[in-house]
Structure 1
Amino acid sequence: MDLTSVNFVAIFLAAVANMVIGALWYSPTMFGTKWSALMGYKAKDLPKMQQAAKNGYAVMFVVSLVMAYVMAHFIQYLGITTVQEACQFGFWVWLGFVGATQISDHIWSEKPLQLLYINSGYRIVATITMALVLTLWV
């Protein structure tokens, strides 16, 4: 397998899309307030969490790049070229790897089921979006 045959601009943009979706998804406008409550965070914890999040965002971006890079190779290998194929691929990647892992982690977390719904919703939207960017960016 040629490790340089993928589109690195598309990989970068897919990782950025993942981060943007996460920022929107977990914002107070969408699910951030509910997510914080379900996680057990209090308003007084916010400044400390924001400070700690700086390193987390950097790691998350690197992880997003890795995920996009691997997905790009699968998309290329499978010959995925259409919106429908990209959406199907993103769904199956989410279901078989991301979603399955999230469910298994959630079982032991002792957190409310709503938290799984919020986190899984983000992951399925982000994974399908990444697949679309990687497929359509030529």
Structure 2
Amino acid sequence: MEVNFLALLVAALSTLVVGFIWYNPKVFGTAWMNSAGLTEEKLKGANMAKIFGLSIVFAFLMAFILQFLVIHQWGVLGVTGGDPKKVGPVYDAFMAQYGTAYRTFKHGALHGFMTGLFFTFPLVAINAMFERKSWKFIFINSGYWIVNLTIMGGIICAWI
């Protein structure tokens, strides 16, 4: 299997679209600002090009590793040694039988959702509790990542 960098980039860029909606003041933006202890004045003067640029880079890194969680066919490479050219008949037989099995948006979205709920939510919650943030803050930020990972998982699984 080969990495589809365009699919990973589109999945990474989808986080910006979700963020523009999620953190809009009419959705969760105002509640997030209040729970984070931020004001409009505190947010002014930030280097937004740097923030958005690094956000895309970090989301791309997340998309890169997410492909191994949402696409089952990557697992056979781990079991057989990692290089499809070297493992030969075992890999070829597996791919002949299961090559496109469970390669849908819905299936990828399920694995993305589970990654968000069972990995990202606890990660955000642990950090936020030590930072003395509210549960509102935890649920807003975790919800954002659960939705993102669901969409990213769907894009990656269906496209790659």
Cα deviation, residue 110, structure 1: 0.8
Distance 1:18 1:90 in 2: 13
| Aligned 1:1-138 pairs, distance under 5 A | 5-48=2-45, 51-74=46-69, 75=71, 76-78=73-75, 80-137=102-159
Distance 2:34 2:12 in 1: 27
Of residues 107-116 and 78-87 in structure 1, the stretch that sits farther from structure 2 once superposed is: 78-87
Distance 1:41 1:15 in 2: 26
Q: Read off the aligned partner of 1:52 and give its amino acid letter.
A: N
Distance 1:116 1:46 in 2: 20
**Root mean square deviation, CA, Å:** 1.9
How many percent identity over aligned positions?
28
Distance 2:26 2:141 in 1: 16
Runs of 5+ in structure 2 lacking a partner? 76-100
Q: Deviations over 1:27-62 (max 9, x none)?
A: 2121111111111112322322xx233312111110
Query: After TM superposition, where is structure 1 displaced by more than 3 Å over at least 4 residues in a row?
Result: none
Whose Rg is larger? 2
Q: Calculate the TM-score normalised by the size of structure 1.
A: 0.85
Q: Which SS does the other structure have where 2:25 is aligned?
A: coil
Runs of 5+ in structure 1 lacking a partner? none
**Residues paired across the two proteins, number:** 133
Cα deviation, residue 21, structure 1: 0.7
Q: Calculate the TM-score normalised by the size of structure 2.
A: 0.74
